[in-house]
Chain A
Amino acid sequence: MRFPYGPAALSMLILSILSGAWLALNPIPPKKATLVMWTFAKTHYDAYKQAIPSFEAKHPGVKVDLQLVSWQAVTSRLQAAFLSDLDVPDLVEVEISAAGSFFRGPLKDVGFRDLTDRIKQSGLYDRMVQARFAPYTSRGRIFGLPHDVHPVMIAYRRDIFDQLGIDVNKIQTWDDFIAVGRKVTIPGKRYMLELPDSESSRFEPLLYQRGGGLFDPQGNCTMDNEIAVQTMLFYVPLVAGPNRIASDLGGGQIFTRAVEDGYFLCMIAPDWRSKTIEVDVPKMRGKMALMPLPAVYPGGRRTSTWGGTMIGITKHCKYPDLAWELALHLYLNKDDLAQRFRDTNILPALKEAWDHPAYDEPRPYWSNQPIGRLYAKLAPDVPFQYTSPFVATAKGKLSEALVACVQYYKQNGDKGFEEFVRKRLKQSADEVRRLMRRNPY
């Protein structure tokens, strides 16, 4: 018997039947996990993989499915998951710069559960560094538990400093730092500090150090206030003009080469970056050291903050109490946190965890400094960093203002610079405010 529609149609039909039968016989196994958790950092993933079996042992029958999602993809995947109500995880770790975008719209429609009552009733609000709740708070409600503090220090080439006879103890303020920088900088060959002139990632910690920020606690855009203006007036001459002491080449291999070559003597280094430096520039073992950030004025704040992560529980989660217990298990276990510090150099937000001996261990890479204790001493002074759903836009606008100010300064120097900075920052802030006004909530 011949198939009436020809061999092509017959092959399509056979393929359809075969593939359909295969799918029918091999159905996707139903998800057995009680809780699904996403994290974007490989270091967190590795640490949680070790911590989860003890949680599962404490809760017989509970299975946690931990998934590593790319940092670049986690925001868009989570937005899409919330939108479609499909594949929404129960717990998610979100990076600080993306967190604000999930707090858009009426509070009842935020995809994360409001953790304010749990955090305050459990006493965690006092046990953790309070400043670190700010980036995960919207309209007074807390949507995430902070993973870290990320105090900022300066990492420097101790061997070259020693050769040049620089005494870091005498560097107390930014004026001291700049004075040394002017002496040791050789344009095109060696710079005192690694700072970019084309984006604001290192500008922001310096803004926070002065008590400024992109937004105030009420979510109003403040990136053109007096603190921001003064920070810009301070920052731009560091990276542009005849007296510049800072430069930037980029990350990855080029950063490794630049540090090895002594192209940069100092780098702004929050705790997580101290690990990045260890991993990326292994040859500098024993030649690097850390010092506190110079203060803006004598006796002023010697640190800032850069980066961060929160863990949130989604409204999709069927077992919020269990999810909360898992979050506490991962974020409060002192021994696990100590081991995680050894692996990642990241200081946890839980203050009582810093008593662990792990934070006093000398680190050979950092010229045997006990870097945990150094960061822990600065941690209580970490500034507040407020957020808004428009934080990504604000960061972009701040970068635009920085580039414009750098270009102006390169062409005109000090002449009319302050007036230009005020005008340019206001322009950027007004653009953010204009976008915010479109928000009907």
Chain B
Amino acid sequence: MKNTDILTIWKSYDQKLNENLLLNRKNAEDITKIKVRSFLTSMRPLKIFAILAGILWVVFVDTLIVLLFPVASPFFLISAGIQVLLTKLSIGVYLYQWVLIELVDIDEPVLTTQERIAHLQASTLWVIRILFLQLPVWTTFYLTQSLIESGGILFYTLQIGFTAGFTLLSIWLYRNISYENRDKKWFKLIFNGIEWNPIRKSMELLDQIKDYSTVRQ
């Protein structure tokens, strides 16, 4: 097969389309009349809501920490402190996504636009990693001095088991949920389902863009 053969086939395809393709002007005209928002712009309110809800939660927990500081158990204070710190990081990721949404311009070069969109999708993984990192604090925030002093062997075994298990699991997930591990079985198991397709696809695209980026303009 020669180059010219491929081009000739494509020319025939072109000719076929010229003869058989019809624009439904009425339906096309309807498009110019409807008020539409782009998919990315439609994501903006969701991100703003997440940021505002996050800020409210942070203010609430921070106030709680300050007000209860003299009387609360150290376990509660440390757990709440870690949780609120991680929430602040999540807000940071949402802010980053918001900036990316503002930067995406559909008439910019394909690789520039696709890289921004793919980063936007893939950064959802950061939020998931941070969410997993919060796991251990949900096993410690309720602990008090009196509960520890009165706890029996069963309490200690379960409490240490849960906290240690959740800590190890959350650190492992935090370190391993990444673009590089997308082909691993456990990764596919967690991110199984049609709703995760955009994230998987965005990772593949980042891979392709990386391949092109070596000689980018």
- Whether both chains belong to one complex is answered with no
**Chain B positions near chain A (C-beta within 8 angstroms):** none
